[in-house]
Structure 1
């Protein structure tokens, strides 16, 4: 809690500044240093900055001169239009430094840095974001053994973590993850701890930066492997956007954050809804000179509900704790149905869906609860407490069928981005319309590109209606990501109906109109391209080298290209080198025509 005390003179100054900002009829450029936010003084700037944001007029611009600004709590921008927030492009640039992280306490930091809600036309650019203390630490394995307390490994930490000395043994560690020498997460150990029950690993401090960590799986490690220790610091997304129409971020760099870097969704009772987002030259990576393995502890960008188009170009994602980008909306199940009304259950929570799931005039789509295939669409008239009234009569829809949002799942265009050394997948895209072109992926535990609609665990939607995956370079992906000790990277490029194990048995027609063309795929463990449950799939002119040789998913993984339950497909012009077998398929009661040239 921040306690602010004003003397009478200070109070009059703040009131005057508030009137000065609010009285501007024309759009103003507001220099934050003129209102009490002073860079590089080591003092908290949150109160001064929040004061500015609260009193903005529509059309105002907020300017940060060069330097470091300290923030002990979140900044909120609400109910504004046409706002630009930006930093100096000269000198040392601008860093917004989040403070207050303490991994020695059992309490969890829960704040975002920015919360933007019910706004239209918001533009952030030329800002860097960091944390005052590392939210994860890492080092190299120097010894492995066992004693009376169990199996252990010795971890030599880097010098940049000396700030946590002399109490290293008291750090609250929530996750241990092993990495290859090149920084690729390899899942030799991936151990989570039950924070709610207060369970943490046994740690002994052996030297100033040397820890002895007990782990039953220590014998699976080798000397020189790297280990990342994610500390018990978690929170909300760095940027949380709720009901923001026309959003742009460019030249933003996030050095480290303990949750999603960016999260987009809708919120009840807002004038504006989330629609259209563009990211240009956004970077999520460790600071130059740092040896930190993990930059963002969760997804880089997580789109949970948004209309319109999501565009990402020339961005960089390095060392993420989960997917670089995940685009989806929530899938629901029909609990009850009348002529025009459905009661919906949130597939993830198994409770009545929230009223901000969708809104009047939104288009929703019904999917068969068994096959996953479309049964048609309807337009929402009204909703209350999980009951959605449609404008038209529902036909052939039954309890147990799925419901997904067409309106609030954006078309997605991603090009010229780089994703490397990340724990889960590159892009998880669950949208009707997708273009992924000319990106580079390397050192990712799971698939580089997963086109999906999760109908089994996460219940994320929606199905693919049209997708182009073209001209991407993919190396060293899909080798390590596991679920219950089983590899789940079916393909460097994969099309499924679930994220983890399974999601490959639905019939053709769940997904449609997918083209995978002119990609260069190299050094991936299982299939280079794995496609299931798709009608009209084209796999053309891809170059595949050294894939399907280290089979982790049998029998599919031994084929460089594998189709399961697909029809109306074309596979031609693909070049293979050093693969176990070039092509395989399995169809479930389908009479598909395969053309291979």
Structure 2
């Protein structure tokens, strides 16, 4: 009996040491007090450093986080800000997980309210971290909103949203928040009835005379005769500088977010950078409290990740940029210092400073004008020369065809991607941007009135420098409904448009894309646009008429081809059903008859 008791005692001790519960109330954190809990919550996080399999528990309620006592870290984050826009890369972080492992944050449906300008949480150099059952919002979102009640050529009357703080100074409207003001403006008009976000200008409002009628009602007197303002629209505007992100996952592995309602995020949304194996499920990036916008920019942004990215059962609604963007980064070769030594540079203004290469990483050498891969190499050593430039020592000399001005891509850090059971709506831009050479599955999603292409596959080494020629993409069982209203006469549903400026004979940028068993609901006849692609199959899809007409599109003739193909080969378009009043046609440029197979009834024009 004594031996049995000893064994049981050791077993219980072993279980206790492997599973630790930290209740934030034990660190002085109480819900619904409206006080700043940032410092005390960080103490709870830090207490997990010596234990594994820790659950940090928040009893259900409201918790407020302020930047004043938040952890500060310098982070260079992709696609955010230039040296001029935002010289300081110091971020204020509500919850910081740094060099942590095996932690679950259990919110129990709690509301995390953030103040000022903050990154809600950051996961840095950590493994096996999970956030679940949390609602996120900002006390004063950095997006200002007002609804147009009446619009006349010489005046506008608008109702200010209660969450949007403002004042009138010298007859001019000024927006402000918790320790911040606005000097530059990016504006969208949201129509929550139509479910659209359209580009606009704040200049007529900023130049007009503003008078307070009621505490939340303002009259603007000026010239509104040439605006696209209409009564009922919600005027949404923000600063253009992305000085923070909503959530940052950096150099981390096995990260899970589940059952999160992100009602507002300041900056670029959930950014995952050089991280591995990311699983995001039941994430709702949707506005609350009668607001129209939930995200300052993108919803989810992935740069230089590897392993697998899985996005399941998520909802994206009311964003000022793309719901999901997955890509790598091309760096330009600035100097060939020796046969196996090169200096490379981050070229886009908003992307620089992060560690982009590691010892033993595999890289591809890319000829920038054609985006053709000219060889491969392995990194032997990495030397950071500046925030912009990196020197790489390679195990072997680089290919002879590569010259200064060409690009390299880190192909070790490229992920597979699985996006399913999601809804994308009320965004002014695309639904998905995807550039990765690993397997991509986009399945059982609903794309509703995305402002531009529902899905775009690009890659470029001359503008955004977002890398990743695709090699295996399956787009299946999705619904594409009335997309492209912000790009009149060019409103293709799916666009495969690499930005190669020269064409390589018998070589292509993207390969092996299959689009099958989808439903397309369109007003005109524009379905698919592709360039420099080999192995594109469009089969067993249903294309139906939809009555919605974009205000930008209603007076333009529908003259473009339904399928617009340029420099493509091994194309197959067959077994599709077209229930449209408009004519379906195929246009082929820089192609011959042997490059394409189509249904007999489908007219094909070669240019």
TM-score interval for Structure 1 and Structure 2 normalised by the shorter chain: 0.7 to 0.9
Match of residue 495 from structure 2: 494
Contact 2:432 2:454 in 1 (8 A): yes
Match of residue 69 from structure 1: 63
399-408 vs 31-40, which moves further:
399-408
**Pairing partner for 2:252 from 230, 244, 268:** 244
Q: 1:97-152: per-residue Cα shift (whole Å, max 9, x none)?
A: 102x3xxxxxxx3x2111111101111111111111233243433333455xxxx5
C-alpha displacement of 1:451: 1.3
Q: 1:524-561: per-residue Cα shift (whole Å, max 9, x none)?
A: 56722211110111111122233899896999972222
Q: 1:141-180: per-residue Cα shift (whole Å, max 9, x none)?
A: 3333455xxxx5432345x448658899331562221234
Contact 2:449 2:482 in 1 (8 A): yes
Q: In 2, distance between residues paired with 1:133 and 1:224?
A: 25
Contact 1:536 1:569 in 2 (8 A): yes
Distance 1:29 1:489, change over 3 A: farther
Partner SS, residue 42 of structure 2: helix
**Pairing partner for 1:392 from 367, 390, 396:** 396
Aligned-residue RMSD, C-alpha: 3.1
Distance 1:40 1:354, change over 3 A: closer
Partner SS, residue 470 of structure 2: coil
Contact 1:294 1:320 in 2 (8 A): yes
Q: 1:13-45: per-residue Cα shift (whole Å, max 9, x none)?
A: xxxxxxxxxxx8443100101111110011111
Match of residue 323 from structure 1: 322
Q: In 2, distance between residues paired with 1:549 and 1:294?
A: 23
**Pairing partner for 1:30 from 17, 22, 46:** 22
Distance 1:321 1:556, change over 3 A: same
- Structure 2 residue 82 is matched with structure 1 residue 94: no
**Pairing partner for 2:271 from 263, 279, 282:** 263
Match of residue 408 from structure 2: 403
Contact 2:199 2:428 in 1 (8 A): no
Partner SS, residue 474 of structure 2: strand
Distance 1:222 1:261, change over 3 A: closer
Match of residue 307 from structure 1: 306
Q: In 1, distance between residues paired with 2:474 and 2:485?
A: 24
C-alpha displacement of 1:323: 0.5
C-alpha displacement of 1:61: 1.3
Partner SS, residue 464 of structure 2: coil
Number of residue equivalences: 532
Partner SS, residue 182 of structure 1: coil
342-351 vs 573-582, which moves further:
342-351
What are the equivalent positions in structure 2 for 1:150-299 lying under 5 Å apart? Answer: 153-158=156-161, 160-161=162-163, 169-171=173-175, 174-180=185-191, 182-187=193-198, 189-191=200-202, 202=208, 204-208=210-214, 209-213=216-220, 219-221=226-228, 223-232=230-239, 235-266=243-274, 274-287=275-288, 290-299=289-298
Q: List gaps (5 residues or longer) in structure 2.
A: 1-15, 68-93, 177-181, 600-607
Match of residue 38 from structure 2: 46
What are the equivalent positions in structure 2 for 1:122-141 lying under 5 Å apart? Answer: 122-141=129-148
541-550 vs 255-264, which moves further:
541-550
- Structure 2 residue 567 is matched with structure 1 residue 575: no
C-alpha displacement of 1:440: 0.3
Contact 1:452 1:464 in 2 (8 A): no
C-alpha displacement of 1:286: 1.5
TM-score, normalisation: structure 2: 0.80
29-38 vs 552-561, which moves further:
552-561
C-alpha displacement of 1:186: 4.8
Q: In 2, distance between residues paired with 1:580 and 1:505?
A: 34
Partner SS, residue 38 of structure 1: coil
TM-score, normalisation: structure 1: 0.82
Partner SS, residue 26 of structure 2: helix
Contact 2:541 2:576 in 1 (8 A): yes
C-alpha displacement of 1:496: 0.8
Distance 1:393 1:488, change over 3 A: farther
Contact 2:420 2:443 in 1 (8 A): yes
C-alpha displacement of 1:185: 3.3
Partner SS, residue 47 of structure 1: helix
62-71 vs 328-337, which moves further:
328-337
Contact 1:436 1:469 in 2 (8 A): yes
Partner SS, residue 493 of structure 2: strand
Q: In 2, distance between residues paired with 1:284 and 1:504?
A: 36
Q: In 2, distance between residues paired with 1:361 and 1:292?
A: 48
Match of residue 595 from structure 1: 597
C-alpha displacement of 1:584: 2.0
Match of residue 421 from structure 1: 426
Distance 1:527 1:366, change over 3 A: farther
Contact 1:531 1:566 in 2 (8 A): yes
